[in-house]
Amino acid sequence: MLTVTRRPLAAAAAALVAAAGGARAGELRPTGKGVSEGGAVWSGARPATPPRRVVTLAPSVTDVVLALGAGDRLVGVTRLDDDPAVARLPRVGGYLDPNPEAVVGLSPDLVIWVTNGTALGPVRRIAELARTSRHPFPVLALQIDTLADVLATPRVLGDALGVPARGEALSREMADGVEAARRAVAGQPRVRVLFVVGREPLIVAGRGSFPDELLRVCGAENVASGDRPWPVYPLEKAVADDPAVVVDAAPQEAPEGIARLAAIPAVRRGAVLRLPNDDLIRPGPRMVRALAGLCRGVHGEARR
């Protein structure tokens, strides 16, 4: 989360816990607990007043800040952020490779990070630079692993930004959206689905990923086996799994490329739900808004 935008990556909670175990005193130490379990971590003192200069290190966090009506506080985002509201803001690197010097150069009073193993080193560097800066600032680390974490994130950020009522309202609104999608397909036959996020190699959403939970909300069964959230999956295993529907969640790849998976019977039948963007693997308001379409599409393709 894990926020996945241009290439799939697990939230890597285990890697964070292992890395934190070897951290020196005073370093950023993620807890291994999700936001819904109270696992948000502050590195540095919380601002005494609501922060006015905020840098986000994940597009999903940017989405939440915008939805909270606090977009005017953003002073830096990642190169993967694509909301028109932040088109003119400075870029501070990517989700996986934030640039510490670029972040510090913006003189933020809050930096918000969604934990992942790859970026832990650069974010620790940001925290180190923050402590020695002329204007020290905190880093707020959020581990977002589950749908419950996604729904809790607006509350945490609303509190951090000094708009707790807005955060509570957005969390409720998103939770209502999930339940509405669940109710809309209640009683429908269970659909076996393979959720593809990359084709060469074949990478799918496995157990423990956001799409796995979203498929269950939609009354569907994820056919991918194993215990990895984003596994590289053998094509022959996908063929043997024989899903009724394949969700093509690789919008950055050409649509016709799905033909590479024609050995899967559902692909040959045309039972493929092509997603137009990465909203469903972007853990925030966009994910919830896209959920109803996933549910309708999965059941519609299964009836073809």
- For the stretch 214-268, pLDDT in tens is 999 999 999 998 888 899 999 999 999 999 999 999 988 888 889 999 999 999 9
Same domain for 150 and 43, yes or no, is: yes
Q: Are 117 and 63 in contact (CB under 8 A)?
A: no
Q: Is 29 inside any structural domain?
A: yes
Q: Is 6 inside any structural domain?
A: no
The DSSP output letter for 185 is T
Q: Tell which of 170, 197, 225 closes a domain.
A: 170
Rounded CA-CA distance 158/163 in Å is: 5
The pair of structure tokens assigned to 213 is 């939970």
In single-letter form, the type of residue at position 276 comes to P
Q: Are 86 and 54 in contact (CB under 8 A)?
A: no
Q: Are 291 and 280 in contact (CB under 8 A)?
A: yes
The pair of structure tokens assigned to 93 is 């690197």
Closest by CA to 47, choosing from 111, 97, 116, 98, is 111
The pair of structure tokens assigned to 197 is 């996020």
Q: Are 221 and 213 in contact (CB under 8 A)?
A: no
pLDDT given at position 281 = 87
Q: Is 157 inside any structural domain?
A: yes
Closest by CA to 162, choosing from 70, 61, 59, 55, is 70
Rounded CA-CA distance 296/144 in Å is: 26
Please, what's the b/e burial string for 139-151 (b: 16 or more CB within 10 A of its CB; e: otherwise)? bbbbbbbbbebbb
Q: What is the mean pLDDT of residues 42-55?
A: 94
Same domain for 74 and 205, yes or no, is: no
The pair of structure tokens assigned to 208 is 């423990």
Same domain for 81 and 220, yes or no, is: no
Q: Tell which of 111, 139, 170 closes a domain.
A: 170
3-state secondary structure of 17: helix
DSSP 34-52: -GGGT--EEESPPPSS--S
Q: Is 214 inside any structural domain?
A: yes
Closest by CA to 288, choosing from 221, 214, 219, 228, is 214
Same domain for 116 and 190, yes or no, is: no
Q: Is 1 inside any structural domain?
A: no
Same domain for 89 and 214, yes or no, is: no
Q: Tell which of 170, 205, 231 closes a domain.
A: 170
The CATH code of the domain that includes 278 is 3.40.50.1980
Q: Are 43 and 154 in contact (CB under 8 A)?
A: no
CA distances from 180 to 168, 211, 220, 260, 291 (A): 18, 17, 16, 35, 10
Same domain for 20 and 165, yes or no, is: yes
Parallel, antiparallel, or unpaired: how do β-strands 191-198 and 220-222 relate? parallel
**pLDDT digits over 151-205, tens only?**
999 999 999 999 999 999 999 999 999 999 999 999 999 999 999 999 989 999 9
Same domain for 191 and 102, yes or no, is: no
Same domain for 232 and 89, yes or no, is: no
CA pseudo-torsion sign 235, 237, 238, 239: positive
- Maximum Cα interatomic distance, the chain, rounded to a whole number of Å: 63
Query: pTM for the whole thing?
Result: 0.87
Same domain for 54 and 82, yes or no, is: yes
Q: Is 84 inside any structural domain?
A: yes
Same domain for 244 and 288, yes or no, is: yes
Per the structure, the count of domains in the chain is 2
Same domain for 165 and 34, yes or no, is: yes
Q: Is 178 inside any structural domain?
A: no
Q: Is 220 inside any structural domain?
A: yes
Range of the domain at 145: 13-170
**pLDDT digits over 82-131, tens only?**
999 999 999 999 999 999 999 999 999 999 999 976 899 999 999 999 99
Same domain for 59 and 198, yes or no, is: no
